[in-house]
Chains A and B, each alone.
Chain A
């Protein structure tokens, strides 16, 4: 309780300052438009994608990838919160109040976890008609989506935090964070199947944690938990832990 209560209060603040119309449009409208417009437009080019023992049609493949993409995207919030707090003096203000750095870091992770889960649920719900045919809900579906949301939030949230701690100027921050996230998005299995990609690109796809995240979520939705997916889960946890430790160290060392 002693640890939880201050975190909840910081999460409350984080959500209040982050959620605004612009953010909601970016988080919800963009993925939906993408699923419906691109999903169906590209069906002519990519007709089916093998996944596990199944063949998915492209809109179903894309909609499920979009969940992972959205989880990653929502973690931008954590970078933006830290960065704004430093720029507008709120980091110092919070650190001179009834909070510790651990409270601060954990509250950011919980915030993006909540936003990630919320947008994952939303895309799942509205994407449902699209991947309806291939869906194979089972006992691990929900746990896998939650696992992906939480571990993915920690992983990408830590990346965003590291960038926001390391960069002072606003141009630098925006350019770098968008470049990193855009690269992660397009060099991953979120939008395109790895099968059609040339070998070098396919290798990059699997050096990219977003691919693991997306595969895990797809495995949950389409009921195809293979050994490979289990390895991806382990890798995701390992990477998230390492990056989280680095982000925490950097935030702890941050001077005033």
Chain B
């Protein structure tokens, strides 16, 4: 069954189009990464999918439920950790979990048990009695994420949950999430602007920019698809007019003068292009200072996809 499905989803604000025609088809039982730079529209999509705001246009179906008809039915089955902090300043960390479970109508015994489990899983035992108001931003964030696991859910939305966490806490959270998906068949919709996180955690990734989906695939497929296109940089001593005109007939390459004269090859057949260019450089007596091939990683793909769309 499709866990999330949207058709031509749009959200306009007065002066901005935050979401611009998003079509999603997300299967259950996976971590789906939603990757994009700041202002790409990630949070707006989450607010639309969790029924907090309504779309300007388009259809949303979550867990098979039409969001315009039965938003409450959707909300009963999902968990949401929004980007902004949310906490009860006067409650202790422990009490926050416990009361949140109560709000979700979880049986008292189960609440107690889960509180203990989560305090331990998120490394919160030492601060369990501290008031939320007195915690650091990262500690608060951990309580906020932990709290969401007090109740049962089929689908969990996490909007940049690791912001403010130290590397150890970050890794602990990612591993905890992986474990949950494996053991309970939970589906997670996970937004981030940190690529390594998406690569580590997600089964599939959508890259979003300016409210539009640029690409959707598994991390390895994304690498395959865009990874064929290798980038080779040739640093040269000078750029003559003759060189310029000879290179202009090869579309896969471009010349950069700053910070130093460079010929950049960007192609799926960069090796063949390289041979041609080396010949031209030789013909024009251009000296090669340095030559480098940039390995493909998700970071490169991300920057390329986002860069192309800008």
Contacts and interface: CB of A to CB of B under 8 A. Distances in A.
Nearest to B72: A100
Contact of B91 (A17, A97, A99): A17
Nearest to A256: B52
Nearest to B86: A89
A195 interface: no
A13 B99 contact: yes
Given A13-B103, A88-B85, A97 B52 contact: no
Nearest to B78: A96
Most-contacted residue by chain B among A20, A96, A99 (CB, 10 A)? A96
Most-contacted residue by chain A among B80, B91, B103 (CB, 10 A)? B103
A95 B90 contact: no
B52 A95 contact: yes
A97 B99 contact: no
A88 B87 contact: yes
A20 B89 CA distance: 12
Q: How large is the interface on A (under 10, 10 to 19, 20 to 34, 35 or more residues)?
A: 20 to 34
B90 A17 contact: yes
B104 interface: yes
B53 A255 contact: yes
Majority-rule SS of B interface residues: loop
Nearest to A92: B82
Contact of A16 (B47, B50, B51, B91): B91
A130 interface: no
A88 B47 CA distance: 17
A96 B102 contact: no
B175 interface: no
A98 B84 contact: no
Interface in A9-47: 9-10, 12-13, 16-17, 20
Closest 9 interchain pairs by CB?
A89-B86, A93-B86, A96-B80, A98-B76, A96-B50, A89-B84, A256-B52, A17-B88, A9-B103
23 contacts: A9-B103, A10-B103, A12-B102, A13-B88, A17-B90, A17-B91, A20-B90, A88-B85, A88-B87, A88-B88, A92-B86, A93-B86, A94-B103, A96-B50, A96-B52, A96-B80, A97-B75, A97-B103, A98-B75, A98-B76, A100-B72, A256-B47, A256-B53
Interface of B: 47, 50-53, 72, 75-76, 78, 80, 82, 84-91, 95, 99, 102-105
